[in-house]
Structure 1
Amino acid sequence: MNLHGLRLFYKVAKAGSVTVAAEQLKISQPAITAQIKKFEKENGIKLFLPQGRGICLSEIGKHLIKEADAIFKIEDRMETLIDNYKQGKNDTLKIAGNYLSTNFLIPIWVAKLKQENKDVDIEINTLNTENAINKLISYEVDVAILGSGAAEYADKINSTKIMNDDLWFVASSNHKYANKTVSLNDIMLEPFIMREDGSYTRRLLESICYINSIKVPKIELEFNGLHEALMASASGYGVTFCSSIAAKEFIEIGKLARIYVDNINLKNEIIICVRKDEEETNLVKEFMSVIKA
């Protein structure tokens, strides 16, 4: 079926006049009339009945206008859907992040995004760096918020630095080293509470020991979550090496205290990752703008 001819018939029938339809569509009246006659001839039907002024629909014309109305309403909805997608509206933003970002950073950013675009749906996945990158490059998520450990995947992703996060040694406020400065040797003799093997901070702690030819501390407790590790340390047992972003709240309420270690001043970069050499969607760009703001 010639949808162009059907559309012109629909517009004329709705406008009640070829003249009005021509003005609305910015097409000449003869061109509209010719296309409608062509549509009638192709389908062996008559859409309009002879009448003095104005138009009068034939029986098939009356039935056809109802069906055409349904078709073009769907077309309008599809065009709106496409426009909204281009503008980042009525879409789903899928985010992957490590434990730090999904618990302390992303909730703030997505709340701001929802304030600006209430129709967007948001999915957040807490994953380790490797799994987050794999989901990103396999199109299961749209963007990932990770730490410096993501740098080793530079061949697969494009990344933008958001901020620096200091890495601190912390322990219970009652710990013997609380708020004191100690040597690296001394702190490494303490029992440690850490994230699971393979986490970025744990690998970094091991690297510090290796570079300084010091034995790796004994990990007495191990947790898959940073919050759990901090809670255990705050209870009075063990030292944790972790993000300052995560530890600050505990320090401010007096549950944890920082331990200053000679010549150790390390930072972790927080970065936003997208697929390499791919144009971001408007929704991803909007999310990145919220973060940068």
Structure 2
Amino acid sequence: MSNVVQLQSFKSVATTGSVRSAALHLGLSPSAVSHHIKLLEQDTGLTLFQRQGRGLCLTDIGSAIMGEVDSMLESSSRLQQRITDLKDRRVNRLSISYFSSAGNRWMPELVLFLEHKHPHTGVQLSLAEGQWHESRSDIQIIITETKEPVLPPQVNSSFLLEDPYVVAVPETHELASRSEVTLAELDRLPWIDNEQGDGPCRTILFDACARAGIRVQFKHEAHTFVAALHMVSRGLGITLLPRLGIDQLPAGVVIVPLAAPEPIRYVHAISDPGHPQQDVIDDAISALHELASDDAVAR
């Protein structure tokens, strides 16, 4: 059976669309990641990836096993975390799933806060695509299309942030000096993709474009906000992304707000009521509110 390292490489390549990006994420060499994928395909007798432009995408077979791979990696992560907790005499554990831009902005401060406030509770983090899933984590930081999403009655939902989309343009672009711009005005410009798959971020953007009467066509593909912003800095086109996704703006890039119909994503913290560590969950969500509030004020 395939080992955990091979499955980690499989998931990272599937997520980033690139062996090089996956290697950077995992702290491995590209050749090591390629070797893991090759061994995994040999062990299973399946073709898991195919070329797409300069990157890689999952085959139908690869997509079909992604759910089981996620489950195995989550189980392995929980086991390893539990072992670490016991070594550190941390008898309790709090699991938090988050999407990437929330992780970049909030997770370091949140973990630091919990380490000090609840030193005997281990914090386990996992990266997710931003949608709610039953029994995924004690706290799930998710993206929704509305401020008041319809969720099962057995969960608590705490609204954190309204996160509007903006357009990033080169500082020499004619739109760079504008106070706002409509989606219709961006119709014929070269767009840079910054998302992979059909997650909520892409759905929210595409729905807004449909309301504006424009058809999305990407000239270039980048699979992360960071990569897309750097492509903008090289003058390769424009990219649309949520404000929270801008961790550090590259030199030569200007952000312009979008006018109605403005794409907006909403960020919530989801938890189960009556949890054995409800006090830890309450403190964590309160800290998330403060972090989200600081981001909102900074805008």
Question: TM-score w.r.t. structure 2 length?
Answer: 0.57
Are 1:115 and 2:116 an aligned pair? Answer: yes
Alignment partners' CA distance in 2, 1:164 and 1:152: 13
Alignment partners' CA distance in 2, 1:110 and 1:230: 28
Q: 1:153 to 1:99 in 2, by over 3 A?
A: farther
Q: Which residue of 1 aligns with 2:166?
A: 168
Q: 1:207 to 1:219 in 2, by over 3 A?
A: farther
Alignment partners' CA distance in 2, 1:149 and 1:183: 20
Give the secondary structure class of the aligned counterpart of 2:282.
Answer: helix
Correspondent of 1:158 among 138, 156, 159:
156
Q: Residues 222 and 229 of structure 1 are in contact (CA less than 8 Å); yes or no, is this contact kept in structure 2?
A: yes
For 1:108, the aligned partner's letter is E
Greater gyration radius? 1
Give the secondary structure class of the aligned counterpart of 1:257.
Answer: strand
For 2:105, the aligned partner's letter is F
Give the secondary structure class of the aligned counterpart of 1:195.
Answer: coil
Are 1:290 and 2:290 an aligned pair? Answer: no
Offset, 1:95: 0.7
Instruction: Describe how 1:241-260 pairs up with structure 2 within 5 A.
Output: 241-247=240-246, 249-250=248-249, 254-260=251-257
Offset, 1:154: 0.8
Aligned pair count? 196
Higher helix share: 1
Instruction: Describe how 1:5-24 pairs up with structure 2 within 5 A.
Output: none
Alignment partners' CA distance in 2, 1:219 and 1:271: 32
Alignment partners' CA distance in 2, 1:125 and 1:169: 29
Offset, 1:219: 5.2
Give the secondary structure class of the aligned counterpart of 1:129.
Answer: coil
Unaligned runs of 5+ in 1: 1-88
Q: Which residue of 1 aligns with 2:183?
A: 184
Question: TM-score w.r.t. structure 1 length?
Answer: 0.58
Alignment partners' CA distance in 2, 1:200 and 1:113: 29
Unaligned runs of 5+ in 2: 1-89, 291-299
For 1:201, the aligned partner's letter is C
Alignment partners' CA distance in 2, 1:232 and 1:174: 14
Q: Which residue of 1 aligns with 2:74?
A: none
Alignment partners' CA distance in 2, 1:121 and 1:192: 42
Percent identity of the aligned residues? 15
Summarize deviations over 1:236-268 as a string: whole Å, max 9, x none: 222221121232631xx6442123444344432
Q: Residues 129 and 149 of structure 1 are in contact (CA less than 8 Å); yes or no, is this contact kept in structure 2?
A: no
Alignment partners' CA distance in 1, 2:283 and 2:257: 39
Alignment partners' CA distance in 2, 1:290 and 1:262: 31
For 1:144, the aligned partner's letter is Q
Q: Residues 205 and 263 of structure 2 are in contact (CA less than 8 Å); yes or no, is this contact kept in structure 1?
A: no
